[in-house]
Structure 1
């Protein structure tokens, strides 16, 4: 089942094209990462998908249904980048009120479970106006999940949180994913996206310039693979032969007694290198490969 399907989605503000003809399909059960610099059009695209803004042209469906239908809207949870709360209501009152708006009023026990999941249970009766920025972000996540939606839009869910809270929300996202939820996630924390997301799209100037799994993105952007081999001492009789062979297979060869570095341009050469060490009567203890990170891919 397709959770999100966008066709030629475009948004123009005052003659400026902010989102430019995006085609996108997100399958049910994915954690889909949506990346881009500030001003790339990410929030505008999400605003169109969640009904905050109307597309100038193009169309989309959510959960294979009519996006204007109340039934579809009730199956969706949204956490915008910045949420505004009623300062005079407690966290518990806030969740009970907003769950009623979704058409699926939550009992106190369900609200407490949601607050527990985001680390706010002990603040259930504290007024939202007293919350820190990070606590408000947590309450925003709780609000998005309180009615048990099938599809979640989370815009920067962990920004402004301390390290412990970030880990807690990331675990919650994984738990939701394990329950079959579809999650559309934007974040400037590229390590978080790399860790959580099953597929990733990178947006630039209103267009998606690359999309795929981390392995697919690495394969596209990778030109050099740095291989580090920990091994036993190479026999003197084999050392010169092995060194010459390595220099013929890769570049930047740093040959040591028990540690060797070499840069190659394709995966299959890694297997050839291990076989060469074995042929030269040298035991291999560990092979480590340095892959490009999502940060390097994003900057590229």
Structure 2
């Protein structure tokens, strides 16, 4: 009798992975407007492989500390982590979009896509390429019964939903992948690929979710005008907010060149200064330290 061995799962380590800590975007409780308090621990953490290298992502949530609030102690998750990968996945959304585009538009086989990904530094086998392709199809396929049950539970718990849309360009140009997700539960709901940003196409895509029987508390986006127009048209009574992570990222684009120039100037000015000896050098060579000058002044 042949003994069946457990399936081998390779251990992958990325010691140089960039660290990204994503905090909950909300500042106030959506019910009582009390300032939310940060939770001491992360609600999720994982290392994700993206087309630009490995990234360690952790999400830090918040909770309502107002004991008089009906939703006292309810947790608000850092929905920004969904910009990087789907729940329970260690591959980035850009990898997901790359696989879908290569298979649907370039007509590449799974093994060929695996080869392309490995050339770009993504460690993946053919089986996982197929799994991610099925996730890609599910994401584009729209909401299913299980997702609707989760949305209903979230609406019951928080009194409504918060919708967010993020846009990705896996190749840096060309086709766009739009992802719709619910913020409070951190649930990805649907996706659509477009050649260019078109508000009307986005409105048509959002129509089934507009008809869901749930109160919409707010909407969230990265600031793209087509997305804002589509969300305001679909949920006109819900306030819209720009994602703080995207807003700060856009601010840094103009600051970064000046910061780089300042660091280069400081480096050039400070490189000419003599190096300060560390403590070990002073202990090893005490006689070489400069002695105070005892010669008379006159």
Give the TM-score, by structure 2 length: 0.28
Structure with greater strand percent: 1
Relative contact order (C-alpha < 8 Å, sep 6+): which is higher?
1
The structure with more radius of gyration:
2
Q: TM-score, normalised by structure 1?
A: 0.28
